[in-house]
Amino acid sequence: MKIFVAGGAGYIGSICVELLLDEGHEVIVFDNLTEGHRSAVDERAAFIGGDLLRREEIGGALRETRPDAVMHFAASALVGESMENPSKYFRNNVCAGINLLDGMLAAGVPRLVFSSTCATFGPPERIPIDETLPQRPINPYGESKLIFEKVLRWYGEIHGLLFVALRYFNAAGATDKFGEDHRCETHLIPNVLKVALGQKPQVEIYGTDYETPDGTCIRDYIHILDLARAHILALEAEQSAFYNLGTGGGSSVREVIDACRRVSGHEIPVMEKPRRAGDPPRLIAASEKIKRELGWRPQFENLHAIIESAWRWHQQFPSGYGD
């Protein structure tokens, strides 16, 4: 298939592009490179520099390329930042996405795979989080993604757009070529590994008084290649659907730091800090629906293997993509 990947120069997008190409698909990456990196785009993919907020740019790119499907990774994705700058989140995650959908309709592109998030749920009534639980986000990031899920449902109903929305839990890990390099790094695993690399003196733990066994937040870390595989399966889906995507296991911040110590062999000093605004205490996925309906099976089920792959990449590219 010919796949148009919006946000294909970012962390998750770049690895999906690599897997799509490995599986024999033709790929066009569309990215404004504000968060992504040109060198994170696989050489085998075509690249179009453009901005989803400019309707004519995205509309023109879709008309010219006429793909079979679009994957939409382009978004702002930091919980903490969204609590300070909600406007950026609603603009980039809702308005820009609508430009993409309208461009798809105009160009006759029938299918979308959308990067949604467990942050659409907020603190859940029960764990693990399945698709039947109510969605009550507690930060503008989660709210913006939930709004776009609702937009998708209406575009499906009114225009016949076929979509699969994948609600990621915490993406982590790397392939040999591509990994996690944000210009402003807020995510736990890369920050811990930067300490192991000697680039930062210590890692900060945001909150040690949560109602969890060790007082720190629990997340479901899923390997990026397992996420990417779910996207490939979603290309074949016969019906529109929303799927939660995680391993079903949870690790606390302290457990992640301990695993990074074991994998890297470095001490990794920590500093305990107050809670970060907008963080739910515990997010763990129930992914039975995507296993049942699309036949998805995660191949990396333990945190150690996920962190090993990230550590390999960070050692090989200590300055990330260098831009």
Q: How far is the CB of 103 from ligand UDP (least distance, A)?
A: 28
Q: How far is the CB of 276 from ligand UDP (least distance, A)?
A: 4
Residue 142 CB, nearest distance to ligand UDP (Å)? 10
Closest alpha carbon to 190 in 280, 319, 79: 319
Q: How far apart are CA 222 and CA 131, in angstroms?
A: 17
**Nearest distance from residue 150's CB to ligand UDP, in Å?**
21
Tokens at 7, concatenated:
């946000």
Task: List beta partners, residue 164.
Answer: 113, 241
Structure tokens at 204: 């900060």
The nearer residue to ligand UDP, 99 or 309, going by C-beta atoms, is 309
How does DSSP assign 182-248, residue by residue?
-SS---HHHHHHHHHTTSSS-EEEE-S-SSSTTSS-EE-EEEHHHHHHHHHHHTT-SS-EEEEES-S
For tokens 């937009």, name the residue: 151
Within a 13 Å sphere around the CA of 119, how many CA atoms are in the beta-carbon half?
24
Nearest residue (CB) to ligand UDP, 42 versus 81: 81
Q: Which two tokens stand for residue 133?
A: 């639980």
The DSSP bridge partners found for residue 204 are 271
Residues 148 and 164: their CA atoms lie apart, in Å, by 12
Judged by the rule CB under 6 A, the positions of this chain that interact with ligand UDP are 79, 170, 186-188, 191, 203-206, 217, 219, 253, 276, 279
**Hey, which residues are catalytic here?**
141
Task: Compute the least distance from the CB of residue 268 to ligand UDP, in Å.
Answer: 12
What are the backbone angles phi and psi of residue 117, rounded to the nearest 5°?
-150, 155
Classify the C-alpha dihedral 314-315-318-323 as positive or negative. negative
